[in-house]
Amino acid sequence: MRGERSGTRCVRCLDPGAVVLMMLNPSQKTALEIGLRLLERTLLRLMRQAREPAWDGPLVRTRPMPASERTRLESVGGAMIAEIEVVAREFGLQPEEADLDREIDGELTIAWVYLNELLARKMVRYGTVDPELSKRLDPHIHRLIRLTREVERTRGKADKEQA
């Protein structure tokens, strides 16, 4: 099986400048890139959230992270990102340009699917449904679905205005 060769420094060799050739086939390289990208995105999201103030929403509440914990997270997260950078360089992994539009579209699509699953007629999978549930819950869910679509349309208009 043919793979891509990536040169890495040999840490156990007598000659510290020696290069060891590592084999990664295209599927292995892709798996490594994807796994490390996911880890990097997770680290960036966590470090960003650690700097955010408290949120007191209707269903989600967060507390600010104490400065000492935030400092430790940033230190360990920074070390992890540095290690990812070493692996990427040594194995010739390529960065991927994050496409915010695609990420937003994906998130909105997932939200739309979840919202549709919350309609009263779908709640039967969790047990007997109160006959009044549809009248009380569905208008709110339908409103949220419409607003999700409105966000999508608003973004589409902004994209056309920039073009």
Domain ranges of the chain: 29-90, 100-162
pLDDT for 122 equals 96
Q: Is the pLDDT of residue 11 over 90?
A: no
Please tell me the distance from the alpha carbon of residue 33 to that of residue 93, in angstroms, as a whole number. 6
Q: Are 118 and 73 in contact (CB under 8 A)?
A: no
- HEC assignment per residue over 84-123: HHHHHHHCCCCCCCCCHHHHHHHHHHHHHHHHHHCCHHHH
Please tell me the distance from the alpha carbon of residue 34 to that of residue 162, in angstroms, as a whole number. 31
Local confidence band at 14 (pLDDT 50, 70, 90 cut-offs): low
How far, rounded to the nearest angstrom, does the alpha carbon of residue 60 sit from its chain's CA centroid?
19
Pick the more confident residue, 127 or 23.
127
